[in-house]
């Protein structure tokens, strides 16, 4: 029985690691890794995939570590109004379509597929198609 669990975990790692590696810099690495791992190897794969996805995906984020303070200063200098949101401001939260103003991320930050806004006085990057927060910049 223990051999089967270890074997399943090894297969899950082999199958999930390339997918998780592609998720580097993509918020939600835990969720993505868990989904892919579960699909590949069931519950054990979900655990392994979630762990790998969290470690790999959580290291970089959308903006690099050195870009985050610079981007935060840029947003502060823009004096954007803050949207009041009743829920917790966190990665994965979905903002409403109406009432929130989304701004383009300057090209120098290398995230043209995302928009930013200020929610509860916190700068966030958002996927413009889903309005899902992909990174919180503090």
Q: 5 pLDDT exceeds 90?
A: no
In the block, residue with structure tokens 């979900």? 46
pLDDT digit string, tens, across residues 109-119: 999 999 999 99
Tell me what the mean pLDDT of segment 85-114 comes to.
94
pLDDT of residue 61: 75
pLDDT in tens, 44-71: 655 655 555 554 444 457 888 889 999 9
Q: What is the pLDDT of residue 129?
A: 95
Percent of the chain's residues with pLDDT above 90? 49
pTM of the model: 0.58
Report how far apart, in Å, the C-alpha atoms of 9 and of each of 17, 43, 48, 66, 115 are. 12, 10, 7, 35, 38
């Amino acid at each position: 029985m223990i051999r089967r669990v270890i074997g399943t975990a090894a297969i899950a790692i082999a199958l999930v690691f390339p997918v998780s590696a592609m998720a580097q810099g993509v918020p939600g690495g835990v969720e993505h890794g868990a989904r892919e791992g579960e699909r590949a190897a069931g519950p054990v794969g979900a655990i392994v995939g979630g762990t790998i996805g969290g470690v790999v995906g959580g290291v970089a984020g959308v903006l690099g570590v050195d870009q985050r303070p610079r981007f935060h200063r840029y947003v502060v200098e823009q004096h954007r109004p803050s949207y009041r949101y009743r829920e917790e401001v966190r990665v994965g939260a979905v903002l409403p379509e109406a009432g929130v103003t989304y701004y383009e991320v300057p090209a120098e930050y290398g995230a043209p597929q995302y928009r930013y806004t200020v929610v509860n006085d916190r700068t966030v990057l958002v996927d413009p198609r889903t309005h899902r927060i992909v990174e919180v910049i503090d």
